[in-house]
Structure 1
Amino acid sequence: MTRALRGIFLGLGLWLGSPAMAQDHDILEFKDLNGWAEDDHSTALKVFLNTCPDMKDPDWRALCALAQQGPDARAFFELFFRPVMISEGKPALFTGYFEPELQGALRPSARYRYPIYREPRAAKMTNPWLTRREIETTDVMRGQGLEIAWVDDAVELFFLQIQGSGRIRLEDGRVIRVGYGGANGHPYRSIGVELVRRGVYNVHQVSAEVIKNWVRRNPEDGQELLFHNPSYVFFRRIGDVAADLGPLGAMNRSVTSGRTVAVDPSYVPLGAPVWVEKGGKDPIHRLMVAQDTGSAIKGPQRADIFFGTGDAAGRAAGRLRDPGRMVVLMPIQRAYAMLPEQNP
């Protein structure tokens, strides 16, 4: 199988494509990847297969075709890829994200008072549009039929907007899914950073749960803190994703808990395998796939790991803020094409 796959690969005349946008590229060996031999490569290959058919460049499409033939997973990655360390002088930072599950209803009530909105036509035509404060304290959204559902917690709704997708569990047990449907065009401002700036917490104390609890204990000041972030996200209802699958990522395919990572696509191609070495209290050494993006994910060594759905996943994701390194697995010719030319 290995020899046959190599022959097919070499006979395809793969296109090199353009190099990633970064300052430094170092090609590593697989033996340089801490924990590589112990990983579950078969699981990583299944996740790669979930999105590789949507990759457009010929070299990636050729590798996807080979992956669909059912090769030995570890041999496949080692034969046809090279690990590339892409950096621009900044230390790596890993954070986590998850799919929230909120309690909600399809009709407003005394309990379910906070609407999840579709994007209004006016916001599509004007960028930037109104701020979060203006949207939530005026009647600008009412009477247009833009409500998808109503939820019972304004703080959870705020964090749903940060995550960009989630589930709404209705009282009859049904679950509906919502995904990113647009934004008001204002820049995102971190309320965690604002709490640190005010001296309420130190940097190491801040997490999503800490912020939520502070807002609930301080309702008036908490509301003002939420208004500090002028960015507002609108949603769309997603009806074609099975309940047992993850939410849709940037490639419009379900993401996988512990195997999907959100990256900056200016540096890392969406769909590429990515080797993650995360430090901190609970180290991770694992092959993941770059299947998502995020507004706060900027730079070649910045990544967001998907932790799954619900409160437990949210707590784990909210605690994550760790160093490490991220190594992208690139097709062989593309990897070597990224190296700078040597002066004679």
Structure 2
Amino acid sequence: MSSMSGRGARAVVAAILGSLAACSSPPLQPPQQPPSREATPAPVARPAPASAEPRAASRWTAVDWQALPGWGGDDLLAAWPALRAGCQRPAPGWAEFCARVALQPPSDAMELTLLLMKHLRPWQLAADDGSTTGLLTGYFEPLLQATRTRQGAFQWPLHALPADPALRRLPRRDIDGHPRFEALALAFVDDPFALLQLQVQGSGRLLVRDASGAERLSRVAWAGHNDQPFQSVARALLDRGEVADATPRTLSDWARRNPAQVRDALAVNPRVVYFREEALPDASIGPRGAQGVPLTPGRSVAVDRSIVPLGTPLWLDSTEPWSPGAAPTPMRRLVMAQDTGSAITGAVRADFFWGWGEEAALRAGRTRQPLRLWALLPQGLTP
């Protein structure tokens, strides 16, 4: 950790801003207020890449480091593991910068700040209509109790991906009780809504109890889905007045009180996610995101990869998750684009990975805040 105080670090950041401006391409002057369509310079439209994957509509505007709210106040060393992981699979144009990252870890936060400011340049992201404010949500890695065989309350299976495409595309209602799916069951859990939440999150941890009573922790990762549309089971129950809210505890309590209605309730959502099981030798390592590297709690985000290439460092300007009775607290930090999600679409859109455990679940459930984003690209690399 850096020995420099936050006030001292910010003072040094302010001092080096001027020196960096002289050795890089001339920066644009930052606006004094949050950028608007009229206040910003003419933006750069992001062209379609050479790959077959089209780029969604977005705008990228080069700005000065001073335009990043709170820059100099983040503990950048906390982002170093995510940055280093992202450089394991660098995006095109990042080889030189990632070689510097691999050469020597920074001794303190100021050294890392200088590295970023010398070799990268910030670009503010905006939607095609010029809007620079989007949405931040959160996700986490749930933990479920499980058994290897169907027994007692453990009646709800997680399935491996079927090899047969026709079998793979069956809707949820046709999968439940299907004889060919019995052999694809990886494990059985005791809470159908916890399983549904696992499918929404895309990965999770299983605490599996065997016949002897011994427990083993493993991870289940996303392996595919059945190509059916997603429908919210919680919304259907809310609309019918079956539950007062959609919290995990409320939904699980409803399932325990209404066991005969659970299958019909779940069938409202025809989409099923399939998993593969992985060993978990180190419980402190996060799941692998779409970039193929482990996610870092509090420093990895899911983005729309048609706009933001995976492996891109991002400066995030939002607020801490909502808490009853509390005033909004700024959340401004360096994060890495290392994952994707079907609901994560648009230029100013991110899903924040909080980690695992009860606190992560609570924070993820409360994360729904306004967001502004800046992408940090190597000098000379244009969007």
TM-score, length basis structure 1:
0.82
Cα root mean square deviation, aligned:
2.9
Q: Does 1:83 align with 2:122?
A: yes
Structure 2 counterpart SS, 1:314: helix
Q: Which of 1 and 2 has higher RCO (CA within 8 Å, sep 6+)?
A: 1
Kindly report which structure 2 residues correspond to 1:98-137, keeping only aligned pairs within 5 A, or say none.
Answer: 98-122=140-164, 125-126=165-166, 129-137=169-177
Q: Indicate which of 94, 98, 103 corresponds to 1:64.
A: 98
User: Match of 1:246, as an amino acid?
Assistant: G
Residue 309 of structure 1 and its aligned partner are, at CA, apart by 1.0
Larger Rg: 2
User: Match of 1:150, as an amino acid?
Assistant: F
Match of 2:184 in 1: 146
Structure 2 counterpart SS, 1:141: helix
User: Match of 1:227, as an amino acid?
Assistant: A
Structure 1 pair 148/293, CA: closer, same or farther in 2 (3 Å)? same
Residue 243 of structure 1 and its aligned partner are, at CA, apart by 1.9
Q: Does 1:267 align with 2:307?
A: yes
Match of 2:366 in 1: 319
Give distance in 1, aligned partners of 2:113 and 2:95.
19
Structure 1 counterpart SS, 2:338: strand
CA distances 1:42-65 after superposition (whole Å, capped 9, x unpaired): 2223311112121241x2111110
Give distance in 2, aligned partners of 1:302 and 1:208.
25
TM-score, length basis structure 2:
0.74
Q: Indicate which of 189, 200, 204 corresponds to 1:166.
A: 204
Q: Does 1:309 align with 2:349?
A: no
Q: Does 1:39 align with 2:77?
A: no
Contact map agreement 1:128 1:186 (CA 8 A) in 2: no
Aligned residues: 318
Aligned identity (percent) is 35
Match of 2:267 in 1: 227
CA distances 1:313-335 after superposition (whole Å, capped 9, x unpaired): 1122112111121221122222x
Residue 170 of structure 1 and its aligned partner are, at CA, apart by 2.3
Give distance in 1, aligned partners of 2:126 and 2:337.
16
Structure 2 counterpart SS, 1:50: helix
Residue 192 of structure 1 and its aligned partner are, at CA, apart by 4.5
Residue 153 of structure 1 and its aligned partner are, at CA, apart by 1.3
User: Match of 2:152, as an amino acid?
Assistant: A
User: Match of 1:118, as an amino acid?
Assistant: A
User: Match of 1:47, as an amino acid?
Assistant: A
Q: Does 1:30 align with 2:65?
A: yes
Structure 1 pair 150/211, CA: closer, same or farther in 2 (3 Å)? closer
Structure 1 counterpart SS, 2:86: helix
Q: Does 1:258 align with 2:298?
A: yes
Give distance in 1, aligned partners of 2:284 and 2:147.
21
Residue 302 of structure 1 and its aligned partner are, at CA, apart by 1.4
Kindly report which structure 2 residues correspond to 1:149-298, keeping only aligned pairs within 5 A, or say none.
Answer: 149-171=187-209, 172-194=214-236, 206-209=246-249, 211-216=251-256, 219=259, 223-239=263-279, 242-279=282-319, 281=322, 282-298=329-345
Give distance in 2, aligned partners of 1:138 and 1:250.
31
CA distances 1:4-32 after superposition (whole Å, capped 9, x unpaired): xx9xx99xxxxxx9666433222222222
Give distance in 2, aligned partners of 1:193 and 1:84.
38
Residue 198 of structure 1 and its aligned partner are, at CA, apart by 5.4
Structure 1 pair 127/304, CA: closer, same or farther in 2 (3 Å)? farther
Contact map agreement 1:127 1:185 (CA 8 A) in 2: no
Q: Where do 5+ consecutive residues of structure 1 fail to align?
A: 11-16, 339-344
Contact map agreement 1:245 1:254 (CA 8 A) in 2: yes
Relative to its length, the structure with more helix (as a share) is 1
Residue 239 of structure 1 and its aligned partner are, at CA, apart by 2.0
